[in-house]
Amino acid sequence: MTTAINNKKIVLVVGAGDATGGAIAKRFAREGYVACVTRRSADKLQPLVESITASGGEAHGFACDARNEEDVIALIEQIETEIGPIEAFVFNIGANVPCSILEETARKYFKIWEMACFSGFLNAREVARRMVTRQRGTILFTGATAGLRGAAGFAAFAGAKHGIRALAQSMARELGPMNIHVAHVVVDGAIDTDFIRNNFPEKYATKDQDGILNPEHIADNYWYLHSQPRDAWTFELDLRPWNERW
């Protein structure tokens, strides 16, 4: 296990979509971090990489199946060896797929768990193994209200999000004494995305009243968590618009 020797600091965002994940990558890049971003399709990352580069930052896109152990191990090795040490890791895969428990299939239930929970374990474990050798780092998990209570029609998603929250709790308790900050972010509410704009126009219409979450403001909170002094670390941060029902 070797590590690139340079002064670069890396943020790895697994699940760097067009909204929250991409905004987090851009926020860290503004602070001088090299943004390493992943999705299943590398082509979809190109606009994000180009945007960060055009703003004077550095970014690298990687196609990776976050559920595949061999792929994840190879990805972390490549980043650490060829680019630099991963100082911050963000797990941002969602898999929010509604379905009645009466119609849910074993295959889909398992796939949602793989995407939203198991892949978080794989990636966080590999990053943590590097961070503990340096005795520093930040590991951040994107959660949801489903990780606190399961809603009707969301059994698979709730199970996965409960699992990722439990993983974050266990990792925080184990790795905190090693100077690694692990935190879980509950994002409750609609986010300003094309999906919300096209499928929930009434909800999107509340944007002018700050009724939906701005991805850039979400990203500010991830940077805040990473920047916290260790005498006042936050484990769980709850983000929701002022008008969102609890």
Q: Count the Cβ atoms, other than its own, within 10 Å of residue 68.
A: 14
Superfamily grouping for domain 10-239: NAD(P)-binding Rossmann-like Domain (3.40.50.720)
- HSE toward the beta carbon, residue 176, CA cutoff 13 A: 15
Token pair recorded at residue 3: 């590590």
Structure-token pair, residue 81: 């060896």
- Distance, CA of 102 to CA of 200 (rounded, Å): 26
Q: What is the model's pLDDT at position 125?
A: 98
What pLDDT score does 2 carry? 47
Which residue type is seen at 59? A
Quick one: residue 68, left, alpha or beta (phi over 0 = left, psi -120 to 50 = alpha)?
A: beta
Q: What is the pLDDT of residue 195?
A: 80
pLDDT in tens, the chain (246 residues): 444 556 899 999 999 988 999 999 999 999 999 999 999 888 899 999 999 999 999 999 999 999 999 999 999 999 999 999 999 999 999 888 889 999 999 999 999 999 999 999 999 999 999 999 999 999 999 998 888 898 999 999 999 999 999 999 999 999 999 999 999 999 988 888 888 888 888 888 999 999 999 999 999 999 999 999 999 999 999 999 998 887
Longest dimension (CA), the chain: 54
Q: Quote the pTM value.
A: 0.94
pLDDT for the residue 6:
66
Assign 208 to helix, strand or coil.
helix
Tokens of 231: 């005498």
Select from 122, 118, 94 the least CA-distant residue to 18. Answer: 94
CA dist 200 and 218 (Å) reads 20
Asked if residues 119 and 42 have their Cβ atoms less than 8 Å apart, the reply is no
In the chain, % helix, strand, coil (3-state, to 5) comes to 50, 20, 30
**Distance, CA of 194 to CA of 23 (rounded, Å):** 14
Which run of H or of E encompasses 70? helix 69-82
Give the pLDDT of residue 17. Answer: 84
CA distances for 56 relative to 35, 143, 198, angstroms: 12, 30, 32
Contact 193, 212 (CB under 8 A): no
Please report the pLDDT score of residue 57 as a whole number: 96
Q: Look at residue 98 in the predicted model and tell me its pLDDT.
A: 87
Question: For residues 68 and 75, what is the distance between their CA atoms, to the nearest angstrom?
Answer: 11
